[in-house]
Amino acid sequence: MTLDKLPPPPAPAAPPRGRGAGTSLAVPSAPVPGPATGPAARKQRLRRRLERLIGVAATEGNLLTPLRNGDEIFPAMLAAIQGAAHTIDMMTFVYWRGAIARDFAAALAARSRAGVRVRLLLDGFGARQIEQELLDDMDDAGVQVAWFRKPVWLSPFKQNHRCHRKVLLVDEHTAFTGGVGIAEEWCGDASGPGEWRDTHVQVRGPAVDGLAAAFAQNWAECHDELYDDRDRFITHEQPGDAVVQVVRGSASIGWQDMQTLVRVMLTSAQERFRLATAYFAPDPYFIGLLCATARRGVTVEILLPGPYTDQRACRLAGQHHYGTLLAAGVRILQYQPTMMHAKIITVDGVASLIGSTNFNRRSLEHDEEVMLAVLDESFTGRLDADYDADLLRSEAVDPERWRRRPVLQRAGEAAVRPIRRFL
């Protein structure tokens, strides 16, 4: 079958290779039953689907502040660190070089010298570029630095499963998560190729405990001491109105919670499903689900990197599916000014996902990830407004032009086929 023809109507599909063997995963071809009432009813229905199917209770009374690009994200994170009085827990996949890397190391070291318990968890692959001088300074200051699965110590199986979570916890009451790493690439306001476009979120309220659990889960693998007498295990206030479910993705055999999360959001959408992701290379099941969602009348928009990307193989793997998606009515847009690195989903103006997970098999199947499922019109509206602004700086993929793409482009798509499941 060529990419520029519609696929046959969705039929029961096999699960992704190596996932949920023996389980039939039918791609829905009709909306999920349920009364199409107001936003409150939609949120409650979606909340109960997520709670029952994932088995993690949502919490009420959360206050979420979206932060757009490094100019907003880094000052907020550094201010929280500098104001810490008891504990700081931080985990990140990327910790590279540059002034911002030095700023974070200096801030963490300063609070440790002031008596704050500071723990830093770095992925053994993603953070390998960190300067040794920064590690030495933090160690001298008493910062507890742990490495998640350094490749040299691991079997090939474990090396493929990385900690891609980004979480900062301060004094147990304030947390940050999203797509940002600690590197110069995230500084600025996405004004040019050297300033990546991304979104982070500051969290206050009971949902902070879910992000703390994400940190603890990975810290426990790397360190003997899970908590100490500086952990107060506080009772959270409820400073806002957002309902939030914290979903953790971890590598194992079988269908994953992160896949269930995305699946529920797609099948629950009634009017609009929006996705922004840095890396788009899903398996055929999720391609079929995106197409089925569009065919039942939902507006489906996918915002992806344009001319600037740091993972060209992954981009080619996703482009293999463009023809199928476009034929089903999915709108694909490519962000032009710089690398699009945000990981956001919004549904019907009432619900959103934000965190570390991309729409590729690596995120959904292989890596440690964390996402916030947020049921709140105000927060979702802020994300949709940013999405609208990003669309003004993007170009839509034209179906006719895509059908006529060069042979060299098609050859590149075919060349990455053997490694798609690792991208």
The CB density around residue 52, as the number of other CB atoms within 10 Å, is 9
Per-residue pLDDT at 356:
97
Burial class (CB in 10 A: 0-12, 13-18, 19+), 94: buried
Q: What digits encode the pLDDT tens for the residues 399-411?
A: 999 999 988 998 8
The residues, ordered by sequence, that sit 6+ positions from 215 with a Cβ below 8 Å of its Cβ are 89, 91, 121, 165, 167, 169
Per-residue pLDDT at 20:
41
Q: Which CATH superfamily is domain 64-239 in?
A: Endonuclease Chain A (3.30.870.10)
Q: What digits encode the pLDDT tens for the residues 207-244?
A: 999 999 999 999 999 999 999 999 999 999 999 999 99
Q: What digits encode the pLDDT tens for the residues 183-200?
A: 999 999 999 999 999 999
Report domain extents, the chain: 37-60+243-422, 64-239
- Ramachandran assignment for 34, one of left (phi > 0), alpha (psi -120 to 50 degrees), beta (any other): left
CATH of domain 37-60+243-422: 3.30.870.10
Mutual orientation of helices 99-113 and 69-82 as an angle, nearest 10°? Answer: 20
Q: What digits encode the pLDDT tens for the residues 289-346?
A: 999 999 999 999 999 999 999 989 999 999 999 999 999 999 999 999 999 999 999 9
Q: What digits encode the pLDDT tens for the residues 24-69?
A: 455 555 554 555 578 999 999 999 999 999 999 999 999 999 999 9
Average pLDDT over residues 376-399: 98
* Residue 154 pLDDT grade (very low, low, confident, very high; cuts 50, 70, 90): low
Fold identical between 37-60+243-422 and 64-239?
yes
Q: What is the pTM of this model?
A: 0.90
- The dihedral formed by the CA atoms of 321, 360, 252 and 51, expressed in degrees to the nearest 10: -100
